[in-house]
């Protein structure tokens, strides 16, 4: 099969169209005075970022992590804890005061989660298949139970964020402004991950997924490649978590639960595994089902299940494959 540039362009056009649609919908909703719907679209965008993170590990690197909620939740808790200490004017630890500045919070989120992903990756990437899934799940569950049993930050009840954290002097309480922050980060991470995937590193990563024997045979050790991808992946998902906490002004152990890990996987599967915009499409479907079918019945996940079943059975490449055709490699 010879790759045709025509299909590549087609996917690019579809990608641009979808992103414009998302942005326009939010702006329209805002000017129609529908703040609720703006937040809904922000929710889609934040989930999509979490999915873009996991997609690097799962879709491109073939690492089925069932523990990405750990990074998502820790990102959320960093935003929540920092904000609580800032508002109480107390120290987080060792004389370190809280902050309500998003940039600082994001920086801390990146550092903490990179270190955590390094540790988890060093251990879990020695295994593959079901063992890798179970080890990543085990780490996430440990952190989940830790959060539940830590009363100073709400334990099981979670932690309220009474005021959204700030980005410079932007009024983050404004739904549209907050959406635009999330949307800019979405575009930024799409761009970053597109660059990474098409780079030499990305080429090695994709071969690590396709055939690790081939990769080692040409002289590239798959382990460090996968480890670095796992860390990138974790950091992006964690930043989504920090945004999610600010969006809801609330963080709870639910963000760390294995259901959350599963949901991030679902975003990717619905949209298309290893497709740049797969998580965006998947998160959109997920949130729409959650909101509109969830409005009629609390058993909306039954429909999500049916949808997922249909995708996996009839459109293995996810919705992206249906609209943009099969994934192409040069």
Partner 1 sequence: MNKRANTAVLQIKSLNKSYGALSVTDDVSCELYPGEIHTLIGPNGAGKSTLIGQIAGWIKPDSGAIYLGNEDISKMSVAKRSRMGLGRSFQVSSLAMELSARRNVMLAVQARQGSSFRFWKAVDTDQSLIVEADEILKKLHIDDYKHVVAAELSHGKRRELEVACAMALKPKVLLLDEPMAGLDPSSTQGLVEFLLKLKETIPILLIEHDMDAVFKLSDRISVLVYGKLIFSGSPEEIKNSSDVKSAYLGED
Instruction: Using CB under 8 A, list all residues that contact partner 1.
Output: 1-3, 195-196, 198-204, 206-207, 210-211, 213-222, 225, 228, 329-330
User: Among residues 180 and 207, whose Cβ is nearest to partner 1?
Assistant: 207
User: Among residues 125 and 283, whose Cβ is nearest to partner 1?
Assistant: 125
Min dist. Cβ of residue 193 to partner 1 (A): 10
User: Among residues 97 and 127, whose Cβ is nearest to partner 1?
Assistant: 127
Residues 70 and 135: their CA atoms lie apart, in Å, by 12
User: Among residues 98 and 278, whose Cβ is nearest to partner 1?
Assistant: 278
Cα of 68 vs its chain's centroid, Å? 8
Residues 184 and 49: their CA atoms lie apart, in Å, by 11
Which has the closest alpha carbon to 65: 276, 327, 260? 260
User: Among residues 80 and 278, whose Cβ is nearest to partner 1?
Assistant: 278
User: Among residues 90 and 221, whose Cβ is nearest to partner 1?
Assistant: 221
Min dist. Cβ of residue 318 to partner 1 (A): 17
Min dist. Cβ of residue 144 to partner 1 (A): 32
Token output for 61: 């690197």
Residue 220 near residue 83 (C-beta atoms within 8 A): no
Residues 204 and 173: their CA atoms lie apart, in Å, by 43
Buried/exposed code over 34-52 (b: 16+ C-beta within 10 A; e: otherwise): eeebbbbbbbbbbbbbbbb
Which has the closest alpha carbon to 303: 314, 294, 295, 312? 294
DSSP string covering 79-144: HHHHHHHHHHT-EEETTEEP--BHHHHHHHHHHHHHHHHHHHHHHHTTS-HHHHHHHHHHHHHHHH
Min dist. Cβ of residue 44 to partner 1 (A): 27
Which has the closest alpha carbon to 120: 144, 137, 136? 136
Min dist. Cβ of residue 127 to partner 1 (A): 17
Min dist. Cβ of residue 273 to partner 1 (A): 13
* Burial class (CB within 10 angstroms; exposed 0-12, middle 13-18, buried 19+) of 297: exposed
Min dist. Cβ of residue 8 to partner 1 (A): 10
User: Among residues 134 and 216, whose Cβ is nearest to partner 1?
Assistant: 216
User: Among residues 37 and 201, whose Cβ is nearest to partner 1?
Assistant: 201
β-bridge pairing 250-251 and 96-97: unpaired
Min dist. Cβ of residue 203 to partner 1 (A): 5
Min dist. Cβ of residue 222 to partner 1 (A): 8
User: Among residues 187 and 210, whose Cβ is nearest to partner 1?
Assistant: 210
Residue 66 near residue 133 (C-beta atoms within 8 A): yes
Residues 172 and 181: their CA atoms lie apart, in Å, by 8
Helix (H, G, I), strand (E, B) or coil at 164: coil
């Amino acid at each position: 099969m010879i790759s045709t540039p025509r299909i590549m362009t087609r996917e690019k056009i579809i990608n641009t169209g979808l992103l414009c649609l998302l942005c326009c919908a939010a702006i329209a909703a805002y000017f129609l005075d529908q703040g609720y719907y703006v937040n809904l679209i922000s929710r889609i965008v934040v989930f999509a970022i979490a999915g873009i993170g996991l997609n690097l590990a799962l879709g491109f690197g073939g690492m089925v992590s069932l523990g990405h909620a750990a990074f998502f939740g820790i990102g959320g808790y960093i935003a929540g804890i920092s904000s609580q200490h800032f508002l109480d004017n107390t120290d987080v630890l060792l004389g370190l005061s809280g902050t309500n500045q998003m940039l600082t919070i994001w920086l801390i989120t990146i550092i903490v989660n990179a270190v955590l992903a390094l540790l988890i990756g060093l251990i879990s990437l020695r295994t593959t298949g079901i063992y890798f899934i179970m080890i990543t799940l085990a780490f996430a569950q440990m952190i989940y139970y830790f959060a539940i049993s830590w009363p100073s930050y709400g334990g099981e009840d979670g932690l309220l964020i009474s005021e959204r954290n700030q980005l410079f002097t932007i009024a983050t309480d404004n739904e549209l402004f907050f959406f635009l922050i999330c949307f800019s980060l979405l575009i930024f991470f799409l761009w970053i991950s597109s660059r990474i995937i098409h780079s030499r590193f990305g080429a090695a990563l994709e071969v690590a997924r396709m055939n690790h024997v081939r990769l080692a045979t040409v002289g590239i050790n798959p382990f460090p490649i996968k480890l670095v991808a796992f860390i990138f992946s974790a950091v992006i998902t964690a930043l989504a978590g920090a945004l999610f906490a600010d969006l809801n002004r609330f963080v709870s152990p639910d963000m760390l639960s294995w259901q959350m890990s599963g949901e991030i996987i679902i975003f990717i599967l619905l949209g298309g595994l290893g497709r740049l915009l797969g998580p965006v499409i998947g998160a959109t479907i997920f949130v729409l089902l959650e909101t509109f079918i969830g409005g009629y019945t609390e058993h909306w996940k039954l429909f999500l299940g049916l949808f997922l079943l249909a995708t996996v059975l009839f459109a293995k490449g996810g919705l992206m494959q249906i609209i943009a055709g099969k994934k192409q490699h040069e």
